[in-house]
Structure 1
Amino acid sequence: METSNQVIDLLVVGGGTAGIVGAKTASRLGARVVLVERARTGGDCLWTGCVPSKTLLSAATGSGGGTGPIAAGGVGSEAGFSGVRARIASAIATIEPDDSPASLEAAGVTVRHGVARFTGPGRAEIDGQQIRFHHALVATGSDPAVPPIPGLDRAPVVTSETVWDLTELPQHLVVIGGGPIACELGQAFARLGASVVMLVRSRILPKEDADAADIVRSSLIRDGVQIVEGATVEEVTTPDGAREAVSRVRVGDGRTFPADTILVAAGRKPRTDGLGLDSVGVDLDEKGYVRVDHAMRTSNPMVWAAGDVTPNPDFTHLAGVYASTAASNAVLGVRRSVSTVIPRVTYTSPEVAAVGITSAQGASQRVSTIEHAHTDRAITEDQIDGFTRLVLDKRGRILGGTIVGPRAGETLGELTLAVHQKLTTRDVAGVTHPYPTYNDGLWNAAIADARTALENRGVRTAMSVLVRLTRWRATRSSLRRG
């Protein structure tokens, strides 16, 4: 298709998860779609995010589900760090065809390699070549943010994007940050044999239930991670002329920590520079993210956005779902709203999975918690450090919750559905669940809450009446038979 002479239905800028899903959705609906990617399709998730990080975590436990650390050169380590890197490369190579230009072309999407820039209403250019469009989807993603710490620019720094370029296991790894990426990578490298220090501005996993963060903290410490919370990194010093430089990272209380590698995991920033969004009237927020409404439409009704370039949470699953909504809204002329029920998982050991409201907010809400010390599957596997917690309204409707334990993310699907469908604990308790599973925690938390309804005086009175009535009928029937 000669894109310079034809007005296309949807121009997609960015070939990560949001761009790929949005482009394929629009094409399947019959739209003429061009996707522009400046580097390689697949985005952060495939190359530097979900796929390599979860493979690293799996390798660090020895077999993709174990719980103990391994040494980088130990028996179960797949021939050391080089083996781990080979395993990561293999996982990427296996998944990459699904995100490739060939896969997009097979779905009817025209793929262009280059840099796109908007030049005016309904117009853009790709490396100088003009293209016209009816609608556009901005899906350019985000980059790791590197804070302006004195001396950091001279130190051996990696981010979640460049850590995969390491050819040797760090001996002294300092992690700046305490969110999911920092916790996941910090634990993985510690299990592989690195000495790891985490410098955290507040506390680890600040957006999660405090009890969940406590369990993860204890697990990290058991794996050898030194966690310094409430720490402000003041300066990084690196000796001049050293063949193998070891930097010193100084925090506010004067302590310093050695680092041959510094992993910065302190947030992200949107990729909007050079897109020419001002030429098409697309507004950005104070942090540079593309503002969108509930339908993923920007301030320009012909331009849509999805994924990490928007202020929404940086989750791959969210990018795909929201991009699909944006693309269908654009090419069909409808205004479907995206769901605000957003599940999230931190893939530490144990995992932390959460959705919706995770703590009671006021007297009208309550919680039902099952400690995994009372969950049979957890007992049989000696993995009792965890819990399932539901947040409920006064009618027993499930508003959200947190699950901590092995494969917690697998149970989160049912909890997310319950929140989305506004189910009650009675709904969940009334469904037969397989036994024994970690999912028993969710079921038992629902059962425990449903049972509290029986403690209501009015309900107990009604039940007592029913029991007496049933007893009377049974006695009467027995006398008749006699």
Structure 2
Amino acid sequence: METFDIIIIGTGGGTKIARPAADLGCKVALIEKEDMGGTCLNRGCIPSKMLIHPADQIHHIRHAGQINIDADPHPRMQFKSLIERVTETVGDISDGLAPPYEEHPNIELIRGTAAFSGDHSVTVNGRELSADRIFIAVGTRPHIPDIPGLEGTPFMTSREALRNTDLPKRMIVLGAGYIGCELGHVYSSAGTDVHFIVRSELIRREDREIKDEFHRVFSQNNTLHEGFTAENVEYDGAIFKVMIRDKSGAEKILEAEALLVATGIVPNTDFLGLENTGIQTDDAGFIAVDGQLQTRVPGVYAMGDCNGNYFFRHTVNWEGEFLMRVLFEQPSDETIDYGAVPHAVFTYPQVAGVGKTEDELIAGQTEYVRGFCRYENTAMGMARQAGHGFVKLLIGKSDRKILGAHIIGDEASNMLHMVIALMYKNGTLDDLLNMIYIHPALPEAVRDAARDARDQLKNS
């Protein structure tokens, strides 16, 4: 049995603990079974956004005529070279992560698959390691639905779609969440005829008005088969045939050269040997944690996607900083406070949100007003000839607190940050009103939504 102060399983969010703890003198075992950097760097946020940015540019070129620019209406993405560039860039970054850990005197980087042999011991590569503190940061992987005929076919998940160099003529996307909409946007912009199988709604967890606007714009550029589920998959060596059925029993067959499965995620906890420990999971396999992210085994913590709290890189970064503070730097019994967790969907149109949706406020019987401003009603929106997009603010009636903000349109993820900052400071509607906004800039839509909320409060 080899003894360490800390064992960390996973080099995505787990790196928020490894070097800071090692710098404090802890002896750390850092275990990774795949590429350094985890899902975000290798199979998620970074490569997808490197593909989405060119896709956005192509979209703007195709619609340049609305701002009186004569542009080629059929710009072509250099798909193969783009994928190769992104893959090479991500690979170089991942490869560059290892040396600082390998050279650190208090860190041993171990390549292999870890499994628990006891509450505080793991095996990896035939070695048995133990530590008083163990951090599980193993992330998630794509969920593969149980559809007859799917297994054994060369379907893609997000992992393969991000590195595929062959642009298909047609593609079927099974799923209508963030991942499917983002990658579908990339392939559609590159020239693929993309068909979405939408069982319920596009980006269904968003605010209702956001979903309606997104559906209106997204459906103009993509073919949606709404209310359908995939019942069977066939592949003849070149073409996928997917039989879909709606609630009434109506059936149709979709054909395409490529099939992207984007039906959610599952935690990478099934290989961890958790049955050898007192660690508990829910029915979906996500690890149960308390307010300090500690599992049912004292001294063992789960962070990031695998604990099921949130599924963003920015939240696991927050968790890592929290754990470093309360366990090592300023030990305390403080519990984690995520505050208002923001998110964004980087497709077209872009979506960003923070705080409560209107449906949630109604369900909670919270008294509020809705401040609203469309992009086209601002100077910069007019300059861009914005045919879609708006800012929606949800303000508490009694205390004027900002309860939620939802934006759809160009630069939504950037625009949202001014509201995020105020929400973390318990800001109010008055904080949004009592500041000078650059004219003309898109954030004037936030100001005008705030003014709309102010006027409603006056009249309520």
- TM-score with structure 2 length normalisation? 0.89
CA distance in structure 2 between the partners assigned to 1:155 and 1:268 by the alignment: 19
RMSD: 2.4
Paired with 2:54 and 2:47, the residues of 1 have a C-alpha distance of: 10
Contact 2:176 2:203 in 1 (8 A): yes
C-alpha distance 22-412 of structure 1, shift in aligned 2 (>3 A): farther
Q: 1:121 to 1:151 in 2, by over 3 A?
A: closer
AA paired with 2:340?
V
Question: What's the counterpart of residue 345 of structure 1?
Answer: 344
Residue 213 of structure 1 aligns with which residue?
211
Q: Which amino acid aligns with 1:355?
A: V
Deviation at 1:354, TM superposition (A): 0.4
Structure 1 counterpart of 2:49? 54
- Partner Cα separation in structure 2 for residue 69 and residue 154 of structure 1: 40
Q: Which of the residues 293, 297, 303 maps onto 1:296?
A: 293
- CA gap of 1:371–1:138, structure 2 versus 1, over 3 A, is same
Q: 1:185, CA displacement in angstroms? A: 1.0
CA distance in structure 1 between the aligned counterparts of 2:24 and 2:353, rounded to whole angstroms: 33
Alignment of 1:195-344 (within 5 A): 195-223=193-221, 225-239=222-236, 242=237, 244-252=238-246, 253-332=250-329, 333-336=331-334, 337-344=336-343
Aligned-partner Cα distance in 2 for 1:247–1:454: 58
Does 1:23 find its partner at 2:18? yes
* Correspondence 1:59-98 to 2 at 5 A: 59-62=54-57, 66=60, 68=62, 76-77=75-76, 80-93=78-91, 95-96=93-94
Q: Is the 8 A contact 1:357 1:399 kept in 2?
A: yes
DSSP-derived class of the 1:162 partner: helix
**Any idea what the Cα deviations from partners look like across 1:444-482, whole Å, max 9, x if unmatched?**
2223323445557xxxxxxxxxxxxxxxxxxxxxxxxxx
The equivalences for 1:58-207 within 5 A come to 58-62=53-57, 66=60, 68=62, 76-77=75-76, 80-93=78-91, 95-96=93-94, 100-105=97-102, 109-207=107-205
Q: Which letter does structure 2 place at the counterpart of 1:13?
A: I
Specify which of 372, 375, 379 is matched with residue 372 of structure 1: 375
Deviating beyond 4 angstroms after TM superposition, the runs of 4 or more aligned structure 1 residues are 73-76, 105-108, 451-456
- State how many pairs are aligned: 442
3-state SS of paired residue (1:441): helix
Q: Which runs of 5+ in 1 are unaligned?
A: 457-482
Which of 16, 34, 42 is the equivalent residue of 2:37? 42
Corresponding residue to 2:426 among 415, 422, 427: 422
**Would you say the 8 A contact 2:62–2:74 is kept in 1?**
no
Query: How far has the Cα of 1:113 moved from its partner?
Result: 1.0
How far apart, CA to CA, are the structure 2 residues paired with 1:300 and 1:363? 38
Could you tell me how far 1:101 is from its partner in structure 2? 1.3
SS of structure 2 residue aligned to 1:320? helix
Corresponding residue of 1:398 = 402
Deviation digits for residues 305-350 of structure 1 (CA, Å, limit 9, x no counterpart) = 1111111221111122113323443335433313142111000122
Q: C-alpha displacement at 1:94, in angstroms? A: 5.8
Higher radius of gyration, 1 or 2: 1
Whether the 8 Å CA contact 1:97–1:103 is kept in 2: the answer is no
Q: Say whether the 8 Å CA contact 2:56–2:348 is kept in structure 1.
A: no
Q: Compared with structure 1, are the counterparts of its residues 343 and 159 closer, same or farther at alpha carbon in structure 2 (3 Å cutoff)? A: same
Q: 2:403 matched to 1:411?
A: no
Residues in 1 aligned to 2:75 and 2:235: alpha-carbon distance in whole angstroms: 35
Worse-matched range after superposition: 133-142 or 152-161:
152-161
> What is the CA-CA distance between 1:96 and the residue it aligns to?
3.3
Shift of 1:104: 3.2
Partner residue of 1:9 out of 5, 14, 19: 5
Q: Distance in 2 between matches of 1:74 and 1:39?
A: 42
2 CA distance for matches of 1:104 and 1:77?
Answer: 41
Give the drift of 1:22. Answer: 2.5
Gap change, CA 1:435 and 1:8, over 3 Å in 2? farther
Task: State the shift of 1:35 in Å.
Answer: 0.9
Amino acid at match of 1:57: I
> Secondary structure of 1:207's partner?
coil
8 Å Cα contact 2:289/2:307 also seen in 1: yes
Does the aligned pair in 2 maintain the 1:48–1:161 contact within 8 Å?
A: yes
* Mean CA deviation greater in 173-182 or 39-48: 39-48
Question: Match of 2:242, as an amino acid?
Answer: R
The CA distance in 2 between the partners of 1:443 and 1:28, in whole Å, is 45
Within 1, Cα distance between the matches of 2:395 and 2:337? Answer: 23
- Structure 1 residue matching 2:134: 3-state secondary structure: strand
| 1:266-312 deviation per Cα after TM superposition (whole angstroms, max 9, x unaligned) | 01111112312233311101111101122211111210011111112
Mean CA deviation greater in 173-182 or 328-337: 328-337
Secondary structure of the corresponding residue to residue 14 of structure 2: helix
Distance of 1:347 and 1:179 partners within structure 2 = 11
In 1, Cα distance between equivalents of 2:61 and 2:412: 14
Letter in 2 for 1:266: T
Provide the C-alpha distance between the structure 1 equivalents of 2:110 and 2:459, rounded to a whole number of angstroms: 65
Per-residue displacement from partner, 1:364-416 (whole Å, max 9, x unpaired)? 12211111121211111122411111111112100111011111111222212
Q: Distance in 2 between matches of 1:234 and 1:210?
A: 28
> Is the 1:60–1:77 Cα contact (8 Å) retained in structure 2?
no
Q: Which amino acid aligns with 2:80?
A: S
Conserved in 1, the CA contact under 8 Å of 2:373 and 2:445? yes
Percent identical pairs in the alignment equals: 26
TM-score for the superposition, normalised by structure 1? 0.85
Call closer, same or farther: CA 1:321–1:119 in 2, change over 3 Å. same
Cα gap change, 1:102/1:76 in structure 2, threshold over 3 Å: closer, same or farther? farther
Q: 3-state SS of the aligned residue for 1:308?
A: helix
Counterpart selection for 1:383 from 381, 386, 389: 386
